[in-house]
Structure 1
Amino acid sequence: MTPEVAVDLFREALWLTALIVAVIVTPSLIVGLLVAMFQAATQINEQTLSFLPRLLVILLTLIVAGPWLTQQLTDFMQNLIQNIPQLIG
């Protein structure tokens, strides 16, 4: 395996990881911002008020986008496993 191939595999794995994290975290960040704006407008300073909506949004995101994320990860692993002979040799 040449260094270029190793770097390319690492780049692809890092990109897939960033994609998975972005899909899960972005809705949570948006809901957190909306809840923070609501708290600032109403002057409610309750920590659990911001935690529960973000948790529910993350769970909903995993339910909706979970199959697609799993398919992306499975495709990457299948491609990696199928190309083992070319990577080693």
Structure 2
Amino acid sequence: MTAADVLDVARDGILAVILVSAPLMVVGLVVGVLVSLLQALTQIQEQTLVFVPKILAIFATMLLALPFMGDQLSGLMTRVMSRVVMGG
């Protein structure tokens, strides 16, 4: 493998990590902001209130996005192994 091949594999890996983690991160961000807004409006300042809705939302998103995540990781592994076996 040349240096360009290594950089291509690294770029593919970083892109796969971003694509796999993005749905969970976005849902966690949106739920956190909504719960924080609700806390500010009702003046309930309980620090642990945000965890349960965020965990449930992230878990539900993970169940829904799991096929997409698996496809992305499987595609990455296929591309990496084809470069290793075929030599580029």
Number of paired residues? 88
Return the offset for 1:33.
0.1
What is the match of residue 54 of structure 1? 54
Q: Give the superposed CA RMSD.
A: 1.3
Return the offset for 1:81.
1.5
Look up the equivalent residue of 1:15 and give its one-letter code. Answer: L
In the alignment, structure 2 segments of 5+ residues that lack a partner are none
Return the offset for 1:46.
0.9
In the alignment, structure 1 segments of 5+ residues that lack a partner are none
- The secondary structure found in structure 2 opposite 1:83 is helix
What is the match of residue 44 of structure 2? 44
Check whether the contact 1:39–1:45 (CA below 8 A) recurs between aligned residues.
yes
Larger relative contact order (CA 8 Å, sep ≥ 6): 2
Check whether the contact 1:31–1:53 (CA below 8 A) recurs between aligned residues.
yes
TM superposition outliers: structure 1 runs of 4+ over 3 Å: none
